[in-house]
Amino acid sequence: MSGSRPSVQRSPTIAGMFFAVVVLSVVGACAPPSPTGSSSGAAVPAGATSTRPARTLVAAVRNEPSTLASLPLGQQGGGAAVYFSKRMFNADLSILDGDGVPRPYLAEALPQLNTASWQVFPDGRMETTHRLKDGVRWHNGNPLTADDFVFSWRVYATPAFGHANSAPISLMEDVSAPDPRTIVIKWKAPYPQADTLQNLGTGAKGLPPLPQAVLGPTFEGQSPEALVNNSFWTQSYIGLGPYRLEQWQPGAFIEATAFEQPALKTPNILRIRVLIIPDGNTVLANMVSGDVQLAADVALPLGFVPEVMQAWGPGKGTSLLHLNQWRTATVQLRPDIVGSQALIDPRVRRALAYAVDKEGTNAATWAGQAIPSDVWIAPNSETGRVVDAAATKYPHDIRLAEQQMATAGYLRTGSGYAASNGARVAFDVMTNASPNNESEMSIIAAGWRQAGFDVKEAVLPSALGQDNEARSTFTGIFVASTNVGEQTAVSYATAYLARPENRWAGLNRGGYSEPSYDVLVDSLGTTLDRQQRAQLLAQMGKIFTDDLPSIPVFFQPQPWVFVNELKGLRVAASETNMSWNMREWEFN
């Protein structure tokens, strides 16, 4: 054989999957070792297998980051699912461990509430003090100092860069550096993550340091555009993470070497090569052939995971599922928009929840890899387990669905549910355009029809996928993905309603408004104790799962698939970066 490896198409049958495995094995043995790489999906960039050192870990990711910074400026963005790439090059005062618990990282310790390191004043203002570890250095060898955090605050608090009005930057009154290793932050109002300087559940960094020696002259003497366009953010990036950037060939690969940081452990894996491969078939082929040892950041589509594992055979590799997306069926609750007023009755929504066959939908759409969901936070962290225990559960049970409808005053007839006055329960269910989304929606809709509901299916065109008004003015139910955790819980408050006044930008797209839920959200925003916050979230979860403004369907995992020679990875809490402990990884 000769030429580049062909794409491998998925087959829905076991026999087809076995045939694909055989083809992949033969092609992997006969194809040239290093076809030319490009963003169009070729297997491995030129020279990858012949020039890399023996201890190089080759990873594949789907999305190329537009910047390596953990908190980009302006419209630089970061692309979807670039957690692995950014973790390599960045470090912060704290880090979330595998259980979602904050640990000190660049800091010696986390500020402790009601001590000199974290003071709360009677008027609600606060002050936190953070002490840097001794000997921390940037990738260019310069020492990290408290002045780099002061400079970072000045940059991110500049309105032109898009973060001045967002927490935590918007809540910071002042950031100062009494000495090279001490950072003092004065807060205008309570902020629960003031000790970690992270927005838990979003992955966003609250105040990542910026090298003043590198960016200061541009920030002080030039236009905002000059700073945004500085090569520092891309191919000249200087960070504090476990790896230092060696080479970035856009559209093809990023190469990095372990950084010997005096204050932190040097990574065990000395070199990592990240291939940017947007085509799942190509990732599949490269993993089966052995050219790629780790698929991260949705490089391998969820449905492809069983194929890789079957191709490798027992003992060859491992698949871990990171629950960082939530699939939910949001119900339209605005009386002036909803097509069927019956949907406004929570008893009808409970009936619909009982009529969702999550197990069957998962098997048919997500190859059994998704995790059924009961609420917006996964039970794989301390807080998640507390919330899950309080949530109301809706197992698949048509009989219970009929009971809920009867309680709501709707009886099942030969053509569907109807009220005593003849009003029928008929609604549309919609999703974003994609084969998996549409398959999932159709199976859910079919289950609702089987349970007696009159349901029509609709697909939001890709051209409207980012149109906030289109995503908020659906007339029935919209099945889509959102984040997992606290951020999503808060987004169902009335304050986050999508409406014309905010150009439909609110995350509460179904129009849910419940005063008792809003009170808990307000309390959550000012409660600093983590155990108390978990109890507030549990109360919110109970109200949410009783009211069901959205019907939970799945936690849609991000698969991390790797050879067993790579050791140290383990399943992490939803709010945690799966590569949080990459310094400890080993590759033999």
Per-residue pLDDT tens over the stretch 433-467? 988 899 999 999 999 999 999 999 999 998 888 78
Same domain, 492 and 540: yes
Query: Do 193 and 281 lie in a common domain?
Result: no
* pLDDT at position 81: 64
- 450 in the same domain as 376: yes
Instruction: Please indicate, yes or no, if residue 254 is contained in any of the structural domains.
Output: yes
Q: Which helix (H) or strand (E) holds 150?
A: helix 146-156
Is 224 part of any domain?
no
Question: What CATH number does residue 136 fall under?
Answer: 3.90.76.10
If asked whether residues 574 and 528 sit together in one domain, one would say no
Looking up residue 39, the CATH number of its domain turns out to be: 3.40.190.10
Is there a domain that residue 77 lies in?
no
Across the range 148-174, mean pLDDT stands at 91
On whether both 345 and 449 belong to a single domain, the answer is: yes
Query: Are both 536 and 416 inside the same structural domain?
Result: yes
> Is residue 79 a part of any domain in this protein?
no
CB 180 within 8 A of CB 147: yes
The answer as to whether 464 is a domain residue is yes
24, pLDDT greater than 50: no
CB atoms inside a 10 Å sphere around CB 347:
17
| 568 and 533 belong to one structural domain | no
Q: Is residue 178 part of a domain?
A: yes
Q: Which of 16-25, 130-139, 546-555 has the lowest mean pLDDT?
A: 16-25
pLDDT band for position 80 (50/70/90)? low
**DSSP annotation of 425:** -
Residues 343, 437 within the same domain:
yes
Average pLDDT over every residue of 363-380: 90
Domain assignment present for residue 223? The answer is: no
Average pLDDT, the chain: 87
Domains held by the chain: number: 3
Domain membership of residue 102 as a residue range: 91-216
Same domain for 307 and 204: no
Residue 17 scores a pLDDT above 60: no
Whether residue 482 is found in the same domain as residue 389? yes
Q: What is the CATH number of the domain that holds 489?
A: 3.10.105.10
What pLDDT does residue 2 have? 32
| Predicted confidence (pLDDT) at residue 124 exceeds the cutoff of 70 | yes
User: What would the mean pLDDT of 169-180 be, rounded to a whole number?
Assistant: 96
Average pLDDT over residues 61-66: 89
Q: What is the pLDDT of residue 325?
A: 87
Residue 57: predicted pLDDT: 97
Comparing 71-75, 364-368, 384-388, 574-578, the range with the smallest average pLDDT is 71-75
Strands (DSSP E) along 29-171, which ranges? 56-61, 94-96, 102-104, 118-120, 126-131
228 within some domain: no
What pLDDT is attached to residue 324?
83
Q: What is the pLDDT of residues 498-538, one digit of tens each?
A: 999 878 977 899 999 999 999 999 999 889 888 999 999 99
In sequence order, what are the residues at sequence separation of 6 or more whose Cβ sits closer than 8 angstroms to the Cβ of residue 328? 373, 376, 479, 480, 481, 482, 550, 551, 552, 553
pLDDT of 42 over the 60 cut: no
One domain for residues 496 and 403: yes
pLDDT in tens, 464-480: 887 889 999 999 999 99
Which residue among 149, 181, 216 closes a domain? 216
Q: Does residue 302 have a pLDDT over 90?
A: no
Read off the amino acid at residue 50: S
Q: Is there a single domain that holds both residue 370 and residue 486?
A: yes
